[in-house]
Homo-oligomer: A and B are copies of this chain.
Amino acid sequence: MTQPATVAVDVGGTKIRAGSVIDGVLAHVRSAPTPATAGARAVLDTIAEVAAAVIAESSGSRGAESLAESEWRIGIGAAGVIDPETCTVVSATDSLPGWAGTELASELSARTDLPVRAVNDVHAHALGEAVTGASRGARSSLLVAAGTGIGGGFITNGHLLTGRNSAAGHIGHVPSAAAARLDCPCGGTGHVEAIASGPAILNTYQRLVHGDDSPASAPTSAPNSRSGRDGTAPIPANTRELAAAASAGDALAVRAFETGARALGSALGGIVNVLSPEVIVVGGGLAEMDETWWTPLRAAFAAELIPAASGTPLVKAELGQDAALIGAASLWNGEHSQKKETH
């Protein structure tokens, strides 16, 4: 009797990515664009199609006994606030119209005849790094996903902390002095995401280019900050271009990343003083940056730690976009199938 196989699916606002996880190994990865504007039903149909394709491809590559559908389960990591007990989308952003309220388990079981478990995609990312990634073996870990937003997932003794309303892990929404008076995507103001996310760093850069030395720009910001711009280079239009400009020596681009990294590092230091995880794992697009981002992040992080927490390792995530798939599949592990319900 072979070990049951899982189809893991990562449902994002722009892409649906799936793969098979058999005996803990991810394979047969496929992806499709998320038909976000077409509504939740279209997104569910696409998830079912991609999952079926993964099963067909992987089943074909195994012994005949594996073809029995009863062997397969589906594990989902999805954008939005997901209640892992009811597998329902509690709330979602405008990137997925009509997504809020979707009953993932019943809708997908109806389309695939397979049992379904689901969790928020960042929570799945945290589980993945804890199962086979940078925090494997740690008794507790905090995963930080730093990109277009700042999210996270805290795991202790194999338990994913989901919390009241499944809202736990919103580490981008702690107060940050560097973000004073800046609007946050959550509707509040002054949260670290408003100065440390990719889009926020681009906004800081724009303010610096226009000579606006608001409290949100780096304390070291100087009146002649414009001089940092190379007048001949095009102005970066997105975070990726801004990262390239920083690598090319654009002083204001460097300062924008430093400002965001310092704010995030300081916030993470404070969170470590509260949670005291054995390790902090940093993933997401910003984690792909060079020392321009990592050095101020580590320095600001270390500066906030109380003596009892000093030396807490801050490391880079290891699994990239596969983390959410491995984490979603882990919802079916004997270990996590009970613990996913942990509050």
Task: Enumerate chain A interface residues (CB-CB to B < 8 A).
Answer: 81, 90-91, 139-140, 152, 154, 156-157, 159, 161-171, 173-177, 180, 186-188, 190-191, 266-267, 269-271, 273-278, 303-309, 312, 342-343
Chain A interface main SS type: mixed
**Additional A-B contact list (5), CB under 8 Å, known A169-B274, A174-B270:** A156-B342, A157-B342, A163-B275, A173-B274, A175-B267
A140 touches B156 (CB 8 A): no
CA distance A56 to B60 in the complex (A): 75
Most buried by B among A166, A191, A278, A304: A304
Is A90 within 8 A of B170, CB to CB?
Answer: no
Distance of A29 from chain B, by nearest CB (Å): 31
Residues of chain B within 8 A (CB-CB) of A140 are 163-164, 343
**Can you list 24 pairs linking A and B with CB atoms under 8 Å apart?**
A90-B308, A91-B307, A91-B308, A140-B163, A140-B343, A152-B274, A154-B274, A157-B343, A163-B277, A164-B278, A165-B308, A169-B274, A170-B274, A173-B273, A174-B273, A174-B274, A175-B266, A175-B270, A177-B180, A187-B307, A188-B303, A271-B274, A274-B274, A274-B275
B307 touches A175 (CB 8 A): no
| Cα-based distance from A276 to B306 in the complex (angstroms) | 23
A140 to chain B, nearest CB (A): 5
Shortest Cβ distance from residue A241 to the other chain B in the assembled complex, whole angstroms:
30
* B-side contacts of A269, CB under 8 Å: 175
CB distance from A55 to the nearest CB of B (A): 33
The one of B168, B187, B276, B308 that contacts A275, using a Cβ cutoff of 8 Å: B168
**Chain B hits for A274, CB < 8 A:** 152, 154, 168-171, 173-174, 271, 274-275
Q: Which residues of B contact A139 (CB under 8 A)?
A: 343
Q: How far is the CB of A187 from chain B (nearest CB, A)?
A: 7
List of B residues within 8 angstroms of A188 by Cβ:
303-306
Minimum distance in angstroms from A264 CB to a CB of chain B:
11
Contact A173–B304 (Cβ < 8 Å): yes
Interface centre among A90, A304, A306, A342 (most CB of B within 10 A): A306
- Docked Cα-Cα span, A203 to B171, in Å, equals 31
Report the minimal beta-carbon distance from A233 to chain B, rounded to whole angstroms: 34
With both chains docked as a complex, state the minimum distance between the C-beta of A75 and any C-beta of chain B, in angstroms.
Answer: 22
Docked Cα-Cα span, A163 to B10, in Å, equals: 30
